Structures are given as structure tokens and as C-alpha cells.
């Protein structure tokens, strides 16, 4: 009987390609696991009206963790148009399956390391004497702008509640009524004190464990006074429990500039859902792009590991995309499972292949000039 049972979710597009690459490397490591296929993605939305079937949720409940490839998501109208004709007109509404997974399993922490491996020509070049980039982004994963509480058109009952003199903002709501509620869309940014404290404490705990010098809160409390204000107050309170770690604050717009100018000044960054998504992609661009960007969705009892790139349908089945993000995702899985030897061996092999620069996909070598997805995976296998 295998030591671990892993839900295996390739998903859409190139998710299948990079997961095949991952399997080559996992097998070369002799990782003692059984991989249980689980359905997720666009095809299941189109054919069944559910991109995250109930059978997949049951599989996840009976596994140790999950590996996930990539997902295709489209706006509401496009999603409805691609739904099987037999399912149209039945009130079905597309909702991102990865977002639903995060909420169903309370995967509250999204961990995204962004590390510059020596030899990658796409790395940001630090000033002379500066250290290479080694950032870690902690993104709250279940609340904020990605909570999924949205309307279009805006229901009158919701609009009237927000315009109520006792609890709302009648003067601010007036212009939306003037535009006609049928023309107004509303997305919410809902945050709880518990969610804010959890992600801030996760960030400080990581900094303490890994001897990081600072944690930077990324927010916009001068404009988003209530939600941003809550996160800022909680961050400052939590920081008092970690006296040896510097607590910095930056607005989301400003940090985008500072990460481009002086990224090696930063260690750990923490943010709500959408802001964390933004800065982690920005940071990924400094260390080679999304082809090197991995992520862990971590809860109290379960975790789902995924590269942060999309499904890239035009490359589906061509085996040309960079699998390094997926392989680094496997390293995060080993970290979470406390398989330190596997994690160390895998990262060393990845670093060796990057440093040698002999085998790399088109995003590293130049469009049309790169090696294949499985070529890179096999190079890592040889390095192991």
C-alpha cells in the first residue's frame, strides 16, 4: 500500500502536458504514492454543467493532498454559449473550480515563492553586490475580491440597502441609480478579522521559521478604508508578537513600482486575495515568468498544489511549455508533506538544469527555439 494518496487533476490545456512532465520526475524520485485521477475543468462544465463534479470532491476527501495542472475560465456569456445545448436555460452559472475548491476545503493560505535560480537569463539582474531575488508571497485565499459575491444587473433590494440612510451611503449611491441599475455590476470585497489574522500570522510564522528579516503588508487603506483598514490594523497587532521581524507596509500601486526597482529589498509579502494575485505574478516576472511560478493552496488539513500559469489552449498537446513551475509545485508538495529529502533533491536537480542552460523551453531560449516540455523533465530526471 502506497504511503500517500494524491488526487491527480490535470485540468485543461497544457495542464495535461506539465502533469505528464511531473509524473516522470516523481517516478524518478521513487516517491511512494498512488495517484487517483479526478475530473476538473472546462470540458466538464460544457458537458455536465459543473467544472468541479461532486465525484471529484469525494476523491479529494479521501486523499492526502492534490496536484493540479491548469484551468480554463471564461466570462459568464462565453461560458453559457459553450454549455451543451441540453443544459442551457437551466439556470447554471459557471464558477471557477479552483476558487470553489479553496472555499470548500478552507484552503485559506496561498503560498507563492518567487526565487531567482542562478543561470536563468530571464532573472532580474540585481545591482552590483545585491542579492538575488528570493521572495515569498502569502495571499489570503478565500475572501476579498475573489469571494464570488457578485451581481449583474444590480438587484434593487441590494442597491436600496446600500442607499439606506441608517447603514448605507445615499449620496454615493445616487449616481448608480441615475445610470439605471440594469446597467450596473457589483463585485464585493468581503474580509473578516479572522481571515486577515490568519494570513498575517502565517506570513510572520514563515518569516520566523525561515529567518526572514521582514514581512510587508500590501494594501490600499487610504482608499479602501474599511477592508484595507481592517487588514492594516490586524497586521500591526499581529506584528507585535514577532518583535525580531520588521513589519513594513506598502500600497498596492507603490509596491508594483518598488518591486521593479528594488525587489531584493523584500522578503515576505502578505496581501488579500486579488492584491496577492497581482504581486505574485509581478514577482514571478522578475524570476523568469510564469514558467517558474508555483503555488500551494494550504488549509488546516488539506492542500492543493498548482503552477500559477493558465491553460494556454493554443499549446495544448504540443508539449512546448515550461514544466519548471509544475516541478517546483511538486517541491512545495514535498515541503508540506515534510518529505525534506525529496524536496531538497528535486530543487537541487531543477537548479542544476537551470544553471547549465543546455535544456530549456521557448520562453527561456526564445520563441520557436526551445526544447520540449518532456525534454526539460528528462533533464531534471538525469540531474537527479
3-state secondary structure labels for all residues of 258-282: HHHHCHHHCCEEEECHHHHHHHHHH
Domain ranges of the chain: 1-109+294-384, 124-145+190-286, 150-187
Would you say how long the chain is, in residues?
Answer: 384
DSSP 149: -
pLDDT of residue 21: 98
> 1-109+294-384 in CATH: which number?
3.40.718.10
Instruction: Please tell me the class of the 124-145+190-286 domain.
Output: alpha beta
Name the residue among 330, 331, 383 with its Cα closest to residue 354.
383
Q: Which residue has the cell 459568464?
A: 76
Q: Residue 251: enclosing H or E segment and its boundaries?
A: strand 246-251
Cβ atoms within 10 Å of 3's Cβ, excluding its own: 11
DSSP 190: B
Mean pLDDT in residue range 172-195? 97
Q: What is the CA radius of gyration of the chain?
A: 22
Cβ atoms within 10 Å of 30's Cβ, excluding its own: 9
Mean pLDDT in residue range 300-317? 95
Task: Decide if pLDDT at 101 tops 90.
Answer: yes
Mean pLDDT of the chain: 95
Round to whole Å and give the CA distance between 376 and 384. 13
pLDDT of residue 122: 94
Which region among 125-139, 146-160, 324-338 has the lowest average model confidence (pLDDT)? 125-139
In this structure, the strands spanning 294-298 and 303-307 are antiparallel
Task: Decide if pLDDT at 5 tops 80.
Answer: yes
pLDDT tens track for 24-50: 999 999 999 999 999 999 999 999 999
pLDDT of residue 369: 86
Three-state DSSP class for residue 152: coil
Mean pLDDT in residue range 213-237? 98
Name the residue among 383, 382, 379, 362 with its Cα closest to residue 319.
362
Confidence grade of residue 309 (pLDDT, cut at 50, 70, 90): very high
Positive or negative: CA dihedral 99, 106, 187, 44 = positive
The pair phi, psi for residue 2, each rounded to 5°, is -65, 150
Question: Same CATH fold, 124-145+190-286 and 1-109+294-384?
Answer: no
Amino acid at each position: 500500500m502506497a504511503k500517500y494518496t494524491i488526487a491527480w487533476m490535470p485540468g485543461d490545456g497544457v495542464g495535461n502536458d506539465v502533469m505528464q512532465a511531473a509524473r516522470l520526475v516523481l517516478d524518478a524520485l521513487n516517491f511512494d504514492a498512488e495517484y487517483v485521477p479526478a475530473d476538473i475543468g472546462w470540458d466538464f462544465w460544457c458537458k455536465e454543467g459543473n467544472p468541479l463534479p461532486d465525484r471529484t470532491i469525494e476523491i479529494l476527501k479521501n486523499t492526502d493532498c492534490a496536484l493540479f495542472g491548469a484551468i480554463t475560465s471564461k466570462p459568464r456569456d462565453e461560458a453559457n454559449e459553450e454549455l451543451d445545448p441540453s443544459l442551457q436555460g437551466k439556470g447554471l452559472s459557471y464558477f471557477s473550480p479552483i476558487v470553489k475548491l479553496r472555499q470548500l476545503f478552507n484552503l485559506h493560505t496561498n503560498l507563492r515563492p518567487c526565487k531567482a535560480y542562478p543561470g536563468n537569463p530571464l532573472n532580474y539582474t540585481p545591482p552590483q553586490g545585491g542579492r538575488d531575488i528570493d521572495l515569498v508571497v502569502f495571499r489570503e485565499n478565500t475572501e476579498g475580491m475573489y469571494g464570488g459575491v457578485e451581481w449583474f444587473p444590480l438587484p434593487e433590494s441590494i442597491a436600496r440597502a446600500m442607499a439606506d440612510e441608517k447603514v448605507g451611503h445615499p449620496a454615493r449611491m445616487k449616481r448608480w441609480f441615475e445610470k439605471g441599475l440594469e446597467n450596473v455590476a457589483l463585485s464585493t470585497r468581503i474580509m473578516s478579522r479572522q481571515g486577515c489574522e490568519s494570513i498575517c500570522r502565517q506570513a510572520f510564522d514563515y518569516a520566523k521559521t525561515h529567518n526572514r528579516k521582514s514581512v510587508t503588508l500590501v494594501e490600499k487603506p487610504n482608499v479602501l478604508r474599511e477592508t484595507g483598514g481592517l487588514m492594516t490594523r490586524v497586521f500591526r497587532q499581529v506584528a507585535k508578537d514577532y518583535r525580531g521581524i520588521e513589519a513594513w507596509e506598502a500600497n498596492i500601486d507603490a509596491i508594483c513600482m518598488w518591486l521593479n526597482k528594488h525587489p531584493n529589498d523584500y522578503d515576505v509579502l502578505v496581501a488579500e486575495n486579488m492584491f496577492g494575485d497581482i504581486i505574485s505574478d509581478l514577482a514571478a516576472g522578475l524570476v523568469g515568468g510564469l514558467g517558474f511560478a508555483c503555488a500551494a493552496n494550504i488549509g488546516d488539513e488539506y492542500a492543493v498544489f498548482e503552477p500559477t500559469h493558465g491553460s494556454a489552449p493554443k499549446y495544448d498537446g504540443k508539449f512546448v511549455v515550461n514544466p519548471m513551475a509544475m516541478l517546483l509545485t511538486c517541491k512545495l508538495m514535498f515541503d508540506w508533506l515534510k518529505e525534506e529529502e525529496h524536496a531538497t533533491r528535486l530543487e537541487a536537480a531543477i537548479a542544476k538544469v537551470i544553471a547549465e542552460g543546455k535544456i530549456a523551453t521557448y520562453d527561456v531560449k526564445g520563441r520557436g527555439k526551445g526544447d520540449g516540455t518532456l525534454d526539460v523533465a528528462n533533464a531534471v530526471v538525469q540531474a537527479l
